[in-house]
Structure 1
C-alpha cells in the first residue's frame, strides 16, 4: 500500500505579477514502511514539494494541477487529496504534525529560542491528542529518551541554544514523532551535522521507522546518505522527474546523463592523485593568472609560512547568582595545539563540531585572544610574532591572512552591491584609488569565474555557489599569503561544491596560495589537502600526509570518523551501529594508550615515520595502535 501518491503535481509561484511553474508534472509514491529519497540540487523543487504535502506553501505559491493523495493506514479504504484542501482548514491541520511529521534542515531556526524543548513538543502533542499535562510530560520524556537524550527529565527544561547541533536535530525528531505519524518528511535532516552525529541521527531514524512502521520521504542531495537509507530513489531537476526506481538500479545502472554526472561530482576516497571532480556544469570560463610559484625543493627548504605552538584557550560558562555565588565551569576549547603550514601547501583540519577547529582559526586571525601560545608568520623576509602585533603593525599585517567563511549568505552584507563588497578591503587598506580599484574588482570577478556585469547586483540575487565565489574574490582582493577556509562548501550542493573545490585548487596552483582548510567532510579534505590534522576535545590527536591518514589511521577517533562516512556505493554500506557508538570524541571508548593516565606523564605526539604523528602515552606500544 502507498501511504503517499503524488500524480502530475504542478506548483506555480507569482512574483511581481508574473506566474512561473517551479514543479512541472511530478509523480512519485511512498510505500508503507519504506524510505523514498528525493534527490536534486538547490532550486530543483524538492522543498516546495514537501511544503505542498504539509500544506505550508508560501502565499505566492499554489498547486495549479495534479493531486497529492494521502492514505492513512489507521483508516483503511479512505484517502485525502491534500492538494484540494483549504490552506488553513481543519483537515490539513489535523494531518500536519499529527499523521504527517516533518524534520527541517536547520533545527536552530525551526525551534523557538524562547520556549523550552519540552514546551514545544508538548504543544505539538496536545494540539492533536488532548490529555492531562502530567501524562503528556511522561510521553514526552519517554520520546526524548527514545531519540537519544541521556537525561530526558533535564532535557525537557532546556532551550534550543543550550543544545549541540546533533541534539537539536534529535529534539526536532522527537517533536515530529510524538504523535506517531504514518509519514515522516525529512528535509535535508543531516546537512549541517558532522559525519559521526549524522550516522547517529540516521541510525535513529532507521530504528524508529522499524519500531513505528512509518514511511519516510527523505529529501537530500547527499548520495552517500541515499545509498545507505533509501529503498527507492527519485531524481528531480528544475521541477521535473528525470529518473526514478529502486536504489539498486539507480546506483548500478544510471540512465540519465544528469544522474551519471551527479554521481561523478562527489569527492570520494578512491580518487587518484591529480584527478579532478566532474562539475555538472562549469562556471563561466576564467583566464588563469599564472604567477611565480615555488618549486617543491624551494618549498621544502623554506621555513614554514605559519608555525603554531602551544595554543590554549579556555572559556568560563555558567550563571552567577546573588553575592557572586553560582555554578561556573571552565571548558578547554583549545588545549596545547601545535602545527606548521608550509608555503604553498593545503593543511586540512578536521573534527566534530565543538572540537576547537574554528577557535584555532579565530586565534590565527587575531579575532580571539589565546590564554597562552605563539604564532610565527615567516614569508622568508621578516618573521612576525602574530600574537604580539598591536595597532598599526596589526593593521598592516591583516591583508596577509584572509578568510573564506562557511555561510556566504550571512558573511556578505545584503545592503552592499558586489562592487562595494569587493572594493571595501581595497579602500580600508588604501590599495590604489578610483579607476584602479574598479579595474582590480573586475579582475577579481573574472578570477573566480563570474561576469563583471553582475557587479551592481546585491548578494540576494545570486545562487549559493555564486555567493561563495564572491566570498573567495573578497579573500583574494588583498593578495594574501594564507587563506583560512572555514567549511567553505558545507552549505552547498554536490554539483556547486565540485565547482568551488576545483576553483580553489586552480587558484592555489596558479598563485602559490597556502590554505588552512577546515571541514568535517573527510572526502572533501581528502580532495583538497596535502596533510591532515585531526582534532578532538581541543587537541590534535593525529597529523599525517593525506595518503597515510586514510590508509593507515592509528588513533581511534580518526578511525571512528572514517567509519562514519557514508559512501555513494551500495557495495560499501555504512555499519551504523559500528560508526560512532557513544560519540567518537568520548575518550572512554578509546584504548588505554590514547587516554591520559592521571598519575602518568602527559600525552605526547609519537612519531610513526614520514611525518605521521599520533597523540598517545609516552612509550606506548606502536603495534597496539595498528
Structure 2
C-alpha cells in the first residue's frame, strides 16, 4: 500500500506578473512504512514539493496540474487529493500536523522563542486530539522521553534558546510525532548538526519509524544520509526527476549523468593524494592569481611557524537576576590550555562538535575576544609579534595579516552595500591606494575568485550562496593576508557548490602561498583540505596529527567517535548508529580512564606518539594499546 502517490505534479510561481514553472511533471510514491529520499541541489524543487504536500505553498505559488493522493491507513476511504483541497480548508488542516507531520530544516527559526517546548507540542496535540490538559501533559512528557530527553518533565518547561541544536531538533521531532502521523516529512533534518548528533537524530527517526509504522519522505542533499536511511531514492534537478529507484539501484548502478556527478562532487575518505573534487558545473574560468611578492626574511624564519599558540585560555561568565535582587552566575570554560603551531603555507584543520571551542579559538587569534591567559605569536619573517600584546595603531596595522572567511555568507555581507563597496571597504580602512587603484584591485579580486567584474554594482541578495561565499573569499584576500581563518566556510552550501569553493581555496593557496586555519565539523571536507588536523573536545585539543595518520590510526576515543559517526555514500559501509556516539562523543564518562583527568585533579598532558602525532592522556599511559 502506498501512503502517498504524486502523479504528474506541476507547481508554478508568479513573480512580478511573470509565471514560472518550478516543478515540472513530477511523479513518485511513498510506500507504507518505508523511507523515500528526495535528493537534489538547492533550487531543484524539493522543499516546494514538501510545501505542496502540507498545503503550505506561498501565496505566489500554486499547483497548476497533477495530483497528490494521500491514503490514510487508519481511515479505509478513498484517497484524498491534497492538490485539490483549499489551502485553508478544514480537511487540509486536519491532515497537516495530524496525519502528516513535518520537521523543518532550521529548528531555531521553526520554534517560537517566546513559548516553552511543552506549550508548543501541547498546541499541536490539542488542535488534532482534544483532551484534558493533565492527560495531554502526560502524553507530551512520554513523547519527550521517547525522543531522547533525559529529564522530560523538566524539558517541558524549557524555551528553545536553552537547548542545543540536537535537542531542538528532537523537540521538533516530538511535535511532528505527537499525533502519530502516517507520514513524516523531514526537510534537511540534520544539515546544521554535527556528525555525532546527526547520527543520534537519524537513529531516533529509524527507531520511531519501526515503532509507529510510519512512512518518511526524507529531503536532503547529503548522499551519505541517503545511503544509510532510504529504501527508495528520487533524484530531482530543476523541477524534473532525473532518476529514481531503490537505494540498491541508485548507488550501485547509477545511470543519469547528473546522479553520477552528485556522487563525484562529495568529498570522501578514499580520495587519492592530489585528487580534486569534480564540481557538477565549473564556475567561470579564472586565470591563476598573481603570486604574492615575498618580503625578505631573517635567517631561520622559514623554519619558524607562522602562528604559534601557547596555553590559550578563555572563560565566559553568564548570570541572571531574579526577584528581590538575587542573581545566579555560572562560569563556562570555553578554551582550556590550547596550544598548536601553523606552519607557513600549510592548512591546519580544527574539528570538533558544536560548543567545543573552535570558533572561540579563532576569535582569540583575531583579537575579537580577549583571552584570559596564554600567548599568540605571529612570525612575519622579520620579527616575532606578540599578538595578544598589541594595542592601538600596532593592532590596527597587524589586522591586515590575518583575515577571516565566515560561515554564513548571507549575514556576513552587508545587504546595503554593493559588491564594489564591500571589497573596497578593507582597502579604504587601511589606506591601500586611491580611488582608481582601489577599483583596479577590486576587479582583480573578482577575477581571482572566478566572478565577472560586471557584477560589481549588484547587491549580495542577487547572488547564489556559492557566489556570495566567493565574494567573502575575495574580501578576505583584499589586504594580501598571510593567514586566513576559514570558519565553516562551506557548511551552508550544497555539495556541488561546496566542491567549487573548496577547489578555489586549494588553488588560491597554491598560487598565492596562503596559510589556512580551516575550522569545520565535516571530517570529509577537512580530510580534503588539511595537511594536519587538530581535534577539539570540551575546550581542549585531544589529538593532533598529520591528516593521513589521524584518519588511518586515530587513538583518542573522541576522534574515533567522530569518525564512526560519518555517513558514507556507500551501501557496503553502513553507519552503525549504536556505536556512533553512545551518550555523546564529548562525554568523558564514556572514555577509557587514561584519557580522563585523575580524581586528585592531576592535569592531562599531550603524549608524543611520533611523526607529529600528539594525544591528550595521563602521563605514562600506554595509549597505543587502545589504538
The alignment's TM-score, normalised by the length of structure 2, stands at: 0.98
**Counterpart in the other structure of 1:379:** 380
What is the alpha-carbon distance in structure 1 between the residues aligned to residue 65 and residue 325 of structure 2?
65
* Structure-2 change in CA distance of 1:46 and 1:300 (3 Å): farther
- What does 1:606-617 align with in structure 2 at a 5 Å threshold? 606-617=607-618
Aligned to 2:343: 342
Residue 602 in 1 paired to residue 618 in 2? no
Q: Which string of whole-angstrom CA distances, capped at 9 and with x for unpartnered residues, describes residues 323-382 of structure 1?
A: 653332211110000000001000000000000000000111111111111100112112
Query: Secondary structure of the residue that 2:13 maps to in structure 1?
Result: strand
- Cα displacement (A) at 1:312: 0.7
Is 1:18 aligned to residue 14 of structure 2? Answer: no
Question: Where does residue 163 of structure 2 map in the other structure?
Answer: 163
Partner deviation per Cα, 1:273-321 (whole Å, 9 max, x = no partner):
0000000100000010242698xxx999421110001111111224233
Shift of 1:404: 0.4
Single out whichever of 70-79 and 185-194 deviates more from structure 2.
Answer: 70-79
Query: Aligned residue for 1:436?
Result: 437
Separation (CA, whole Å) in 1 of partners of 2:77 and 2:197: 40
Question: Would you say the 8 A contact 2:225–2:567 is kept in 1?
Answer: yes
Q: In the alignment, which residue of structure 1 is the partner of 2:619? A: 618
Partner of 2:407: 406
Q: Secondary structure at the match of 2:224?
A: helix
The match for 1:196 is 196
Q: Is the 8 A contact 1:313 1:332 kept in 2?
A: yes
Name the residue aligned to 2:424.
423
Quick one: distance in 1 between partners of 2:325 and 2:615?
43
Give the conservation status (yes or no) of the 8 Å contact 2:301–2:381: no
- The answer to whether the 8 A contact 2:555-2:624 is kept is no
Does 1:32 find its partner at 2:32?
yes
User: Match of 1:143?
Assistant: 143
CA distance, structure 1, for counterparts of residue 583 and residue 293 of structure 2: 46
CA distance in 1 between counterparts of 2:171 and 2:292 reads 53
Residues 8 and 26, structure 1, Cα contact 8 Å, conserved in 2: yes
CA contact (8 A) 1:2 1:29 kept: yes
Aligned with 1:615: secondary structure?
Answer: strand
Q: CA deviation at 1:600?
A: 5.8
Report the alpha carbon displacement of residue 137 of structure 1 after superposing the two structures with TM: 0.7
After superposition, the CA RMSD in angstroms is 1.2
How far residue 527 of structure 1 moved from its aligned partner, in angstroms, is 0.2
The answer for the alignment partner of 1:549 in structure 2 is: 550
Take 1:225 and 1:377, find their aligned partners in 2: how far apart are those partners? 41
Partners of 1:293 and 1:512 within 8 A in 2: no
What SS class does the counterpart of residue 609 from structure 1 fall into? Answer: coil
Q: SS of the residue aligned with 2:153? A: helix
Q: Match for residue 243 of structure 2?
A: 243
Instruction: Output one character per residue of 1:590-620: Cα deviation in whole Å (capped at 9) or x when no partner.
Output: 0001000122631000000000000000000
**Within 5 Å, which residues of 2 pair with 1:315-334?**
315-322=316-323, 325-334=326-335
The answer for the alignment partner of 1:526 in structure 2 is 527
The question of 1:486 aligning with 2:491 is answered no
CA distance in 2, matches of 1:424, 1:503: 23
Cα deviation digits, residues 96-127 of structure 1 (max 9, x gap)? 00000000000011111111111111111111
Q: Distance in 2 between matches of 1:299 and 1:190?
A: 48
Asked if 2 retains the 8 angstrom alpha-carbon contact of 1:366 and 1:387, the reply is yes
Q: Deviations over 1:136-178 (max 9, x none)?
A: 1111111011001001111111111111000010000000000
Alpha-carbon contact 2:182-2:213 (below 8 Å) kept: yes
Instruction: Name the counterpart of 1:477.
Output: 478
User: What's the secondary structure of 2:609's corresponding residue?
Assistant: strand
Secondary structure of 1:262's match? helix
Which residues of 2 match residues 97-246 of structure 1 at below 5 A? 97-246=97-246
CA gap 1:134/1:87 in 2 versus in 1, 3 angstroms: same
* Residue equivalent to 1:358: 359
Gaps of 5+ in 1: none
User: Where does residue 284 of structure 1 map in the other structure?
Assistant: 284
Contact 2:594 2:623 in 1 (8 A): no
Quote how far apart the aligned CAs of 1:386 are. 0.7
Q: Which whole-Å CA distance do the structure 2 matches of 1:140 and 1:368 have between them?
A: 41
| Structure 2 residue matching 1:334: 3-state secondary structure | strand
Residue of structure 2 equivalent to 1:73 = 73
Gaps of 5+ in 2: none
Which residue in the other structure is 1:558 paired with?
A: 559
Q: Deviations over 1:375-421 (max 9, x none)?
A: 00112112111111111111111111110000101111111111111
Q: What's the offset of the Cα at 1:558?
A: 0.2
Q: Secondary structure in 2 aligned to 1:202?
A: helix
The 8 Å contact of residues 402 and 484 in structure 1, kept in 2 or not, is answered as: yes
Q: How many residues align?
A: 623
What is the alpha-carbon distance in structure 1 between the residues aligned to residue 289 and residue 42 of structure 2? 31
Question: Helix, strand or coil: the match of 1:43?
Answer: coil
Mapped partners of 2:153, 2:434: distance in 1: 62
- CA displacement at 1:225 relative to structure 2: 0.1
C-alpha distance in 2, partners of 1:60/1:580?
Answer: 44
SS of structure 2 residue aligned to 1:553: coil
Checking the alignment, whether the CA contact within 8 Å between 1:299 and 1:342 is kept in structure 2 is no
CA 1:301/1:446 → structure 2, altered by over 3 Å: closer, same or farther?
Answer: closer
Give the TM-score normalised by the residue count of structure 1.
0.98
Q: Distance in 1 between matches of 2:155 and 2:443?
A: 52
Task: Indicate if the aligned counterparts of 2:292 and 2:480 stay in contact, CA closer than 8 A.
Answer: no
Q: Equivalent residue for 2:446?
A: 445
**Alpha-carbon distance in 2 for matches of 1:321, 1:20:** 55
Quote the Cα distance in structure 2 between the aligned partners of 1:449 and 1:308.
34
- The secondary structure found in structure 1 opposite 2:143 is helix
Q: Is the 8 A contact 1:349 1:535 kept in 2?
A: yes
Q: Aligned partners of 1:578 and 1:322: how far apart in 2?
A: 46
Q: Cα offset for 1:78?
A: 2.2
CA offset at residue 625 of structure 1?
2.7
| Partner Cα separation in structure 2 for residue 479 and residue 319 of structure 1 | 44
> Secondary structure of the equivalent of 1:37?
strand
